[in-house]
Amino acid sequence: MHEVIWHGRGGQGVVIAAQILAESAYLQGFKGVTSAPTFGPERRGAPLTASTRISDAPIRTFSQIERADIAVVLDPSLFGIVDILGSLKPGGLLLINTPQKADEVEIQGCFSIATLDAAAVAIRFHLLKEGAPMVNTPMLGVLSKASGLVSLDHLEKGLKWKLSGGAAATNIAALRAAYEETSIRKG
């Protein structure tokens, strides 16, 4: 089983990204997928997490993920507030929305790191909500490139499942750009 935990803030699309990943994995042929949000204070900008489990077999575990294989960080300011590294298994994969290249990130540990300036990609493709960049779709591109868990083609199908028309096309273009621009440092 593959466990992914998403760290972000209310309004950034964390829950939707977890759902799109689960649906995309299902479309790719995985037999077991789950997606669940974890809310604290339910307000825009408050830290929150969501999780996605992906398995070749049916999933019988419905508890919150404590230590994930992959941690996706939509807002890097959360490193000062949330124990993100504590939610990642040793040897795991840490995905960060940051302008820094993976080799420039000064986080030590026995895990791989992938980075992307997802905010810049979101702005370039006009993925904005109330003026703020929506980085969830670009971070799905990072996840595909760095982990290989769910293919870019199946993430595109997942986006079409969740979105329609021009919104789907714009998000798919951002997903592809993010995939190409991802920087990876193996742990």
Q: Which domains does the chain have, with CATH numbers?
A: 2-185 (3.40.920.10)
Tens digits of residue pLDDT in 125-150? 999 988 889 999 999 999 999 999 99
pLDDT at 39: 67
pLDDT at 44: 72
pLDDT at 181: 98
pLDDT at 41: 59
pTM of the complete model: 0.96
5 within 8 A of 49, measured Cβ to Cβ? yes
Which residues does 11 contact at the CB level (< 8 Å), separation at least 6?
Answer: 44, 45, 129, 130, 132
Q: State percent of the chain over pLDDT 90.
A: 84
3-state secondary structure of 21: helix
Average pLDDT over residues 1-15: 94
Average pLDDT over residues 105-111: 90
In this predicted structure, the answer to whether residue 43 has a pLDDT above a threshold of 70 is: no
pLDDT at 174: 98
pLDDT at 64: 87
pLDDT, averaged across the chain: 94
Q: Residue 131 burial by CB count (10 A; 0-12/13-18/19+): exposed, middle or buried?
A: exposed
